[in-house]
Structure 1
Amino acid sequence: MINFFRVVSFLEGISYILLLFVAVPIKYLQGDPTYVKMLGMPHGLLFVGYIVLAIMLKYELNWNTKTFGIVCLLSVLPFGTFFVGNYLNKETT
């Protein structure tokens, strides 16, 4: 399940970057909300999936509160989810 979580975290990070740095500027600079609508739903689903998987892994891998908190914090920081795999590797070794 941890490998699936890493894939979801990567995809969530890509969708977040596209939403923040492509779709939102187009919306406000060109007045075209199409890309925000197109990218918003997949990003939202990936974000919810990321959080649900993090909760499941918290119990499966007996994460402490600090590890779980950092994994959740990384989900709201731009580029944060790209570091989840490295962080989890450090925590498990």
Structure 2
Amino acid sequence: MLPLMTRALVRPFRLAHRARLMLRREALALRLVSVGQLIERTTEERESDRLVAAYRDRWHADELADLHHLRDELTTELRQVRQELSQ
């Protein structure tokens, strides 16, 4: 056991050390929460990006199908005009 005087001198340092440890623990917990929020937000952004990409791909596919259909109609019309001109 430490003498009473020594304990009285050491006690504030122990309390300060304990306080620093508690603050450090709280800071680490806050950082962990922040990292968790970043991961969650990043996951949501990825899901959002996937949805946007899927919609964009579907839109492009629809546009491409429309363009192919338009090309077929124009090709047919062009053939008819050529036939009429050749007669």
TM-score normalised to the size of structure 1?
Answer: 0.31
Hey, which of these two has a bigger chunk of helix by percent?
Answer: 2
* Larger radius of gyration between Structure 1 and Structure 2: 2
TM-score normalised to the size of structure 2?
Answer: 0.33
